[in-house]
């Protein structure tokens, strides 16, 4: 099939490349000429494990191409996916749909023959209705079916998620559109189809509901972690004990500094606003958003306590800047609030991240020194803080670190070490939801 992907950011690029790898002919379109030039030169705008090899393979085999021209490819497409950004709108927290609506108008002007227009962007309930209205308004003769097809990709594991999905949600009641979407995803069928067909509004709400529920799980275990510290319990054992119940499940029960990234913060906030606008408030999600916002700076206070209550003039080595490992995404990363709070407490911050430092620099406050390795960042530090659980931080040379730091204190905000493992090397150790050692 001929597929056009409007938007070559995270969702659009990963989805387009995977569709091409299925054997479809895919053209990725983006208004950013520099991004398209980079992609045509083999330089990717994002970091995702395995993506560069997959792009190179499908370009080489002529199933994947990149362009700034929308009209030509759309006119020949069987399906056009809208995969543009929907950031939080400044001032009120609603999803900014201007890019979605702009793409819809341009697509309407370019379609020829029956075309399925697929909203892959994360959008509030009712967006598909407005997209359809705008397209009819822009081109009353356009023969289109507007479909909702939300993505459920985890950054750092997106290719595997796309090729081995738990489910594929498709919101449409149009039989022609169902047939096209079935063909688009047919390479994923083994014994059974992973497709779940719903109406369009239900599909839109499934995406927001899924992200909000996962955000609540994270926030729940973080609050339980705080209680564990007060009563002398171990949050990791609590999480294991409740996660073994298959009604609950073990995923997203890892205590830490709060959620970040491109989805959970903006999607929970957008769901809150949608619910308020429809006079059906979602109090659990409202509380989740508030708790998560407060938690990030609270992690800096944990660091202050670990060093004895005073950080003024002391060096803190921050390991990990991105919101999670295996991505260079800094959007809403906990490190941003944590570092700002550490600086507010008078600390001198040295930072290291394996992939995300260039993306971090424009977002982090001034005055940070950036190191080329863990050990450079930790030299003469009064405290080491693990913020992101990159694999290379899981087996640090603790004796070497002990010799290089000014004060052997390790604050592990991801619980990747066991306390006795750290303390036997002479460190004082603090983690989340466990007794300090």
Q: In the structure encoding, which two tokens stand for residue 220, read together?
A: 């729940």
The one catalytic residue among 18, 28, 228, 263? 263
In the sheet with 348-352, reading across from the earlier edge strand, the strands are 369-370, 348-352, 315-319, 383-386, 409-412, 428-430
Ramachandran region, residue 42 (left: φ > 0; alpha: ψ -120 to 50; beta: rest): left
Instruction: Please write down the HEC assignment for all residues of the chain.
Output: CEEEEECCCHHHHHHHHHHHHHCCEEEEECCCHHHHHHHHCCCCCCCCCCHHHHHHHHHHCCCEEEECCCHHHHHCCCEEEECCCCCECCCCCCECCHHHHHHHHHHHHHCCCCEEEEECCCCCCCHHHHHHHHHHHHCCCCCEEEEECCCCCCCCCHHHHHHCCCCEEEECCCHHHHHHHHHHHHHHCCCCCCEEEECHHHHHHHHHHHHHHHHHHHHHHHHHHHHHHHHCCCHHHHHHHHHCCCCCCCCCCCCCCCCCCCCHHHHHHHHHHHHHHCCCCCHHHHHHHHHHHHHHHHHHHHHHHHCCCCCCCCEEEEECCCCCCCCCCCCCCHHHHHHHHHHHCCCEEEEECCCCHHHHCCCCCCCCEECCCHHHHHCCCCEEEECCCCHHHCCCCHHHHHHHCCCCEEEECCCCCCHHHHHCCCCEEECCCCCCC
Active site residue 263: yes
- What are the catalytic residues? 263
């Amino acid at each position: 099939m001929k597929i056009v992907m409007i938007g070559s950011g995270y969702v659009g690029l990963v989805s387009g490349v995977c569709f091409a790898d299925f054997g479809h002919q895919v053209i990725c379109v983006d208004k950013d000429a520099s991004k398209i030039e980079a992609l045509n030169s083999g330089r990717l705008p994002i970091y995702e494990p395995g993506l560069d090899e997959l792009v190179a393979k499908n370009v080489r085999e002529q199933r994947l191409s990149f362009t700034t021209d929308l009209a030509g490819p759309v006119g020949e497409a069987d399906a056009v996916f809208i995969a543009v950004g929907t950031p939080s709108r400044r001032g009120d927290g609603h999803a900014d749909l201007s890019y979605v609506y702009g793409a819809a108008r341009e697509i309407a002007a370019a379609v020829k023959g029956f075309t399925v227009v697929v909203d892959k962007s994360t959008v509030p309930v009712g967006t598909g209705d407005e997209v359809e209205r705008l397209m009819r308004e822009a081109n009353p003769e356009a023969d289109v079916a507007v479909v909702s097809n939300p993505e459920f990709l985890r950054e750092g594991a997106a290719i595997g998620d796309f090729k081995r999905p738990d489910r594929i949600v498709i919101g449409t009641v149009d039989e022609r559109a169902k047939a096209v979407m079935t063909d688009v995803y047919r390479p994923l069928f083994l014994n059974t189809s992973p497709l779940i067909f719903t109406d369009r509004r239900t599909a839109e709400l499934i995406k927001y509901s899924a992200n909000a529920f996962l955000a609540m799980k994270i926030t729940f275990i973080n609050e339980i972690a705080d209680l564990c510290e007060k009563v002398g319990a171990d949050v990791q054992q609590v999480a294991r004990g409740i996660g073994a119940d298959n009604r609950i499940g073990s995923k997203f029960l890892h205590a830490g500094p709060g959620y970040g990234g491109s989805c959970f913060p903006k999607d929970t906030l957008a769901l809150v606003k949608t619910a308020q606008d429809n006079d059906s408030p979602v109090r659990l999600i409202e509380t989740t958003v508030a708790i998560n916002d407060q938690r990030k700076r609270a992690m800096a206070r944990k660091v202050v306590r670990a060093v004895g209550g005073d950080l003024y003039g002391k060096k803190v080595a921050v390991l990990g800047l991105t919101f999670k490992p295996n991505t260079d995404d800094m959007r809403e990363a906990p490190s941003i609030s944590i570092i700002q709070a550490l600086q507010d407490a008078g600390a001198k911050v040295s930072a290291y991240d394996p992939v995300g430092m260039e993306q971090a620099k424009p977002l982090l406050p001034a005055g940070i020194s950036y190191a080329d390795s863990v050990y450079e960042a930790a030299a003469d530090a009064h405290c080491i803080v693990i913020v992101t659980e990159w694999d290379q931080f899981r087996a640090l040379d603790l004796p070497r670190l002990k010799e290089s730091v000014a004060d052997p204190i390790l604050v592990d905000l991801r619980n990747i070490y066991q306390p006795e493992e750290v303390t036997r090397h002479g460190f004082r150790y603090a983690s989340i939801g466990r007794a300090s050692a």
